[in-house]
Amino acid sequence: MESYAILPAHSKGREYPEEPSNYRSVFQRDRDRILHCGSFRKLQFKTQVFLENKGDYYRTRLTHTLEVAQIARTVSKVLGVNSELAEAIALAHDLGHPPFGHAGEEELNKLLINDGGFDHNIQTLKIVTKLEQMYASHPGLNLTIETLDGIIKHNGPLNIVNKYITEEIKDLKKFNFKESPSIEAQIATISDDIAYNSHDLGDGLRAGFFSLSDIKSLPLVREAFQEVEIKYKSINYKTKCYEIIRYFLNSLVTNVIDESSKRLNLIKGRNLGTLKNEKLKLIDFNKNTKQDLEIIRKYLFENMYRSKEVIFEREKCSEVIVDLFNLYNNDLNLLPSDWQKKIKYSKSESPKRIIGDYISGMTDRFAINQHKVLVN
């Protein structure tokens, strides 16, 4: 590996010390713990863009996460950094999403505005440090400091640290929130961008929000369209859609590898410690591609994310979140007995925050079913 990669032997360890594995690195263990936890399994029934019950072929939060992890693994291997760490961060990055995706997150944030709000990145941290209860020896998953740091800095270094982040961390001395994320963490973040830009175009085509004719003039899509047209003279429309999205995704991955390689060459030979305050973002698209992606995001926003159909579904989902929250808040006896006990014995969290934890852990289908039982 390159000098700026994070090596398992150099890990800062875990918040609760453990004996090392005989055959897995510390980051492999992180990855495996994430894969085996309940919060990860529930992602299969949580919204990405479309409700998970709208069709078997649309992405869910789980399939999105798996695609992010695959891209992160590829990019990190090519760039010579720790693919196990990058993959672990990628697999964990959306664990904190509530039902109904960003619609659910926005409503929970409003409902908890006087209790610290709701942010799915902070909720992810809370899940892996506290809410998952799989082990007798410690709360949470007891992930390495490096994986936790990558989760915390999914959107970059923190100049202002939310108090709910510090509450979930046992040993604050092992973290420096203002330092740049590791290269592995940066790879996980940009892999998220690559995955959702690609699969949102693909799902939008499948759902009929736009056609190939509508998007073939968009930057990056245009080049992919031309490549497929030249290479395959006569293929059916469905296959052409798949091929164009595949070329589009591959072009983004290639762009990140090429641009990041140039930036990493500038700091070749330097160790990780000297890069913590590096102002240059080391993992990124080139300038032209970033501009092109902004055009694509704007197109998706106008033609899919803010379409009448999607807004209608978001509004219905928002009602479910609000109704459930108010019902539980007005009558705690409606909560499962273990969650009632959490509220009764909590010394640091308000009942509303604990209700938020309960709702955020629901899948789309469970929230809808609970709403039917309690409201209708």
Specify the pLDDT at position 52.
Answer: 55
Residue whose pair of structure tokens reads 């409902």 in the numeric block: 111
Instruction: Tell whether 55 and 203 lie within a shared domain.
Output: no
Specify the pLDDT at position 176.
Answer: 85
Specify the pLDDT at position 54.
Answer: 64
Domain limit, last residue, from 278, 308, 338? 308
Question: Which amino acid is it at 48?
Answer: Q
Is there a contact between 241 and 202 (Cβ–Cβ < 8 Å)? yes
Residues in a beta bridge with 144: 14
Per-residue pLDDT of the chain (376 residues; tens, 9 = 90+): 888 899 999 999 999 999 999 999 999 999 999 999 999 999 999 988 765 556 677 889 999 999 999 999 999 999 999 999 999 999 999 999 999 989 999 999 999 999 999 999 999 999 999 999 999 999 999 999 999 999 999 988 887 777 778 777 877 778 888 888 999 999 999 999 999 999 999 999 999 999 999 999 999 999 999 999 999 988 999 999 999 999 999 999 999 999 999 999 988 777 665 566 666 689 999 999 999 999 999 999 999 999 998 899 999 999 999 999 999 999 999 999 999 999 999 988 999 999 999 999 999 999 999 999 999 6
Structure tokens at 35: 């894969």
Domain span holding position 228: 192-308
- 15 domain-assigned: yes
- 345 domain-assigned: yes
Specify the pLDDT at position 255.
Answer: 98
- Whose CA is closest to 67, among 152, 192, 170? 192
Instruction: Tell whether 285 and 198 lie within a shared domain.
Output: yes
Specify the pLDDT at position 49.
Answer: 77
Instruction: Tell whether 271 and 354 lie within a shared domain.
Output: no
**Distance between CA atoms of residues 94 and 40, nearest Å:** 9
The set of residues, in sequence order, having a beta carbon less than 8 Å from that of 238 and lying 6+ positions away, is none
The set of residues, in sequence order, having a beta carbon less than 8 Å from that of 255 and lying 6+ positions away, is 285, 286, 289
The set of residues, in sequence order, having a beta carbon less than 8 Å from that of 161 and lying 6+ positions away, is 177
Structure tokens at 335: 């909560």
Residues of 283-306 as b/e, b for ≥16 C-beta within 10 angstroms? Answer: bbbeeebeebbeebeebbeeebbe
Q: How many distinct structural domains can be found in the chain?
A: 3
Count of other CB atoms within 10 angstroms of residue 65 = 26
Rg (CA), the chain: 22
- Whose CA is closest to 184, among 149, 144, 142? 149
- 1 domain-assigned: no
Specify the pLDDT at position 175.
Answer: 86
Domain limit, last residue, from 308, 326, 358? 308
- 2 domain-assigned: no
Instruction: Tell whether 339 and 258 lie within a shared domain.
Output: no
